[in-house]
Amino acid sequence: MLVILRISAVALAFLVAAIALFPLRAAWGAAPKGADLSAASVDGTIWAGRISGMIWRGQALGDFETSLSLANLLPQPAIRLANGTGPLKAALLRASNGTLAISEADVRLPLAALGPQLNADGVVRISGASFEIRGETCVSASGRIDTPAVPSLGLPAATGALACEDGVLLARLSSEAGSAVLAFETLSAASIAWRSASAPLAAVLAALGIRQAAPELSPANADSPR
């Protein structure tokens, strides 16, 4: 009986060690994340590792320190990203079969990434954000967004919230010059367009080269015959 207990204890110790040292690279390779999400290199263990050169749909997200906790194993394992070197600074990431779910996200996006003529200094801040993207469809989104003022361009500071509508990621913004609804039509900064805007903001957005959304993407025209 004592021998059996000793063997069981040794087996348990090996099992614990195997789990504790399980390579992050192996877990990353086995995860059903699809081709949209990739990385240049993956190192360390599932509990404490590093992912370098993470890319989602051609968008460089940066390098991250990663960790996994028991609290984030169910209903599907989620990896925590921290100390990001790119626009995504921190988040809790789940990816499976074409669905990307991000929560607790902290994003710092250079203003210049939002338009060809927005070459001014400044950073768009997205805080406490959650996204669920399935294929090309935005399923759900929430979080706070703050954009800086650019006086030289007549662009006031604005604040607002993220949302999904008709499968499109939206940013609903308010400022002293009125309100605007921006749409990320292909879920990237390069695809930004405006759905609606107060007259002063519409003029500024047009001058910045940010186009108006196509009629079929506008809620006001959703029920109109084509």
For 136-148, what is the mean pLDDT? 92
User: Which residue ranges make up each domain of the chain?
Assistant: 23-89, 98-221
pLDDT at residue 27 above 80?
no
Which pLDDT belongs to residue 136? Answer: 80
For the chain, report the end-to-end CA distance as a whole number of angstroms: 80
**C-beta separation of 33 from 55 below 8 A:** no
> 105 falls in which pLDDT band (50, 70, 90)?
very high
| CA–CA–CA angle 197, 201, 203 (5° rounding) | 105
Question: Dihedrals φ, ψ of 129, to 5°?
Answer: -90, 150
**C-beta separation of 142 from 130 below 8 A:** yes
CA 72 – CA 114 distance, rounded (Å) = 33
Render pLDDT for 169-225 as a digit per residue (tens, 0 to 9). 999 999 999 999 999 876 666 678 888 999 988 888 887 778 888 765 444 444 433
Residue written as tokens 């090996």? 14
**C-beta separation of 210 from 183 below 8 A:** no
Share of the chain above pLDDT 90, in %: 34
More confident residue, 191 or 38: 38
Where in the chain does DSSP place strands (E)?
A: 37-38, 41-44, 48-56, 59-67, 79-82, 88-96, 99-110, 123-134, 137-147, 158-165, 168-175, 178-184, 192-197
CA 173 – CA 180 distance, rounded (Å) = 5
Residue 96 CA to its chain's centroid (Å): 15
Which pLDDT belongs to residue 42? Answer: 92
Which pLDDT belongs to residue 43? Answer: 92
More confident residue, 52 or 25: 52
| Element containing residue 19 per DSSP (H, E) | helix 2-20
- Rounded to two decimals, the pTM is 0.76
Which pLDDT belongs to residue 29? Answer: 72
